[in-house]
Chains A and B, each alone.
Chain A
């Protein structure tokens, strides 16, 4: 792996070639993800099952693969106005070009959102429009060949579906949609990656993407409770599959298995105990994240179905969701449409403050940041900001909660009420203009680390800026993939900045009834200047 400076020096945002029409892809180690293992293709009953790698010369496509793809394309065009429209109306103004983190980080001109879409559009023109059929290459039309397919694979798995370009497009063309369609088509002939299919298959079978069986799930939650007891002296409970609880809580599974997600989990558990929430975890629906979304709408729906099914079975009133990115894309924009109506649930009402969450009156699921912000607003939490004083904090908006939900102020409100030192990154890189961590949409694998680090460069540079300007040493975020991807990213580009979840900050600041004097924060680090204003 090159040094950060070398990578930056190598980036040229001016294309060297004159156009993108020739399909050529080099599957260079570090830039692409491995193919899906046969076992998991089988479990999910996917088409064209085989052991397969993108760097294989022969992709072992079905004999009629071209017909399958073109037929699939015709169907998608009929089923989805966005797809049809986005194929037709782009004027190639190029406003999106330098908005993509992969383009900025790699300089590969085919990573410009407009070109990523043209890869698909060129085939659309060739087979579905009159001028494309007649004029061919002159009209920007291309035959569907194996090389074109390989190019699709390479670039549709080099897009994190972050939707940043769609903010800037004068027609709202959303590359995320284009990539989703591209992936749907690739999946028809069995071209998918391990880091999408394996988690999806695990999730389908066990309930969470790591494939953690129920007893291990309970065990890990047990470890978390032990840690909380050591820290605070309080016995906290974490009910699982408890029928008749008021609320079902669903978090991304990384929260109970990975670090630094773990400290966010501690934060949730402490919060729920402190306010005496009547809630339950589910071992069956133990995953909020949905890797199916990165495969196809159908798989997304199959995985998502568990949430409502479990809420119904457990007879809860409503659902609360943890800190996650694409999980919230699915819950906010897809779940009700997929698997609703959730008429067996009630409109979420905070049992502590009485606030009725009208904005979720149909889906009946709210984000924990909405829930906690409301608690803080009503003064229901005793918070000692100074316990987070060792950190100067900045906040990274995760793509999906920002651009698909508009969850911008809730986390900021919580951070400002739990921390003394909060600094925003430059405005071109936050809120709706936030930059992706470079590892979303199933690209958080190890084998494509080089590409991830390049794609995360714009985010890392913004962090570097606030580090140098304000001494920021902690990056808070609300997404499980962020929490996994940002630590190595920052280590590479900006050393000395750690990553945390927002509810870790809550857990630190939360003064619990009957707790012993806290010597350390949730990470076991001494609390710098532990203040006297603890009541």
Chain B
């Protein structure tokens, strides 16, 4: 159910686009209307979500500290895992976002053998494949900028040449396409493991299938059902400058790819994919461990009912006198 259902939904989307393009005006629906609607949906979702996060305050400094605090000079301070300065936080976040620092720590626990000994082993597969997946996605995303920028900046060409360095075919095979697919397949297979399946929701599989479909349609578009790149670019530029020029000659695969990407973008802000933005805001990572050096302000801090010294002294006066503990009024000296 968790797997079949999202697969079925995705198949429905794909066949809808496929059949739709068979109709004469299908190219307008799937080439122009759907992308616009999806984009609008995504923008609204993205902005609302970020705003909602941004306006909710961070009442307490709740850094998760993963290294020695800055205290006594002779005890080494870990400036990144226990950042005490802006720079420390900057590097902590940099390592977290670019290199998935926390995931790199991952280890697995097993109760081993007959004696059921508790053992720990390093478990970096998730890290490796997550890195492959995310970095490839970034490269693919940057490569696609060539469709939206005129003239194409030289760094994109460079990146593209680098990505296609193993030039065994014409057109060249992009490394990123291969790696993202490997990463994706691993993430899928991992989800099938009993423990991960237990925590998975249908949407976890939907995302994997959706990205898989985007990749496959994109690869097919490049190697099998080719579309004229110059025309595609002209068409996409028309779209982004809000001056769409309908064109029906791209073939079904182009519209499929475009629509799947649109669905992906529209789905993004309403799903767990928002982790890409959320990770920047995570208070356990982006705050300094300096809460004793600098007062963290809670904007909704309010007065609470306390048990004051005076009330306490009144209640325990006899006991205090009996025990010769100084009272407030006679303690002036």
Contact = CB atoms under 8 A, between A and B. Distances in A.
B87 interface: no
A341 B63 CA distance: 20
Interface residues of B, number: 102
B319 A338 contact: no
A234 B39 CA distance: 79
A18 interface: yes
Interface in A1-17: 5, 8-9, 11, 13-15, 17
16 contacts: A20-B199, A85-B283, A88-B278, A92-B272, A94-B195, A172-B283, A205-B307, A214-B319, A215-B319, A284-B309, A309-B309, A334-B60, A336-B296, A360-B293, A406-B66, A458-B109
A168 B69 contact: no
A333 interface: yes
Interface string A196-220: 0000000011110000011100110
B248 interface: no
A469 interface: no
A215 B318 CA distance: 9
A447 B271 CA distance: 41
Contacts of B106: 95, 168
Nearest to B83: A406
Interface of B: 2, 5, 49, 52-53, 56-72, 74-76, 78, 81-82, 84, 96, 100, 102-103, 105-111, 116-118, 120, 126, 130, 194-204, 270-272, 274-275, 278-279, 281-285, 289-298, 300-301, 304-309, 312-313, 315-316, 319-320, 322-326, 328, 331-333
A109 B195 contact: yes
Interface centre among B61, B109, B270 (most CB of A within 10 A): B109
B126 A340 contact: no
A118 interface: yes
B104 to A, nearest CB: 9
Contacts of B59: 79-80, 297, 337
Given A167-B102, A333-B61, A336-B291, A408 B196 contact: no
Contacts of B111: 8, 11, 13
A283 B66 CA distance: 35
Given A89-B278, A169-B102, A332-B291, A302 B305 contact: yes
Contacts of A85: 53, 278, 281-283
A309 B306 CA distance: 10
A14 B308 CA distance: 52
Interface centre among B82, B106, B118, B319 (most CB of A within 10 A): B118
Interface in A313-360: 313, 331-334, 336-338, 340-341, 355, 357-360
Interface of chain B, main secondary structure: loop
A250 interface: no
Given A214-B323, A313-B309, A359-B70, A406 B289 contact: yes
A97 B195 contact: yes
A114 B283 contact: no
B295 A341 contact: yes
Contacts of A13: 109-111, 195
A231 interface: no
Given A8-B111, A336-B291, A373-B75, A15 B57 contact: no
A228 B295 CA distance: 39
Contacts of B108: 98
A5 B96 CA distance: 40
A365 B270 CA distance: 44
Contact of A95 (B56, B126, B271, B324): B126
A183 interface: no
A83 B81 CA distance: 23
B72 A219 contact: no
Interface string A398-432: 00001111111110010000000000001011001
Contact of A241 (B72, B201, B331): B331
B295 A19 contact: no
A112 interface: yes
Contacts of A80: 56-59
Nearest to B313: A284
A31 to B, nearest CB: 20
B49 to A, nearest CB: 7
Contacts of A19: 2, 198
A310 B310 CA distance: 11
A297 B59 CA distance: 10
A226 B200 CA distance: 61
Contacts of B61: 333, 337
Given A139-B201, A218-B325, A405-B65, A89 B194 contact: no
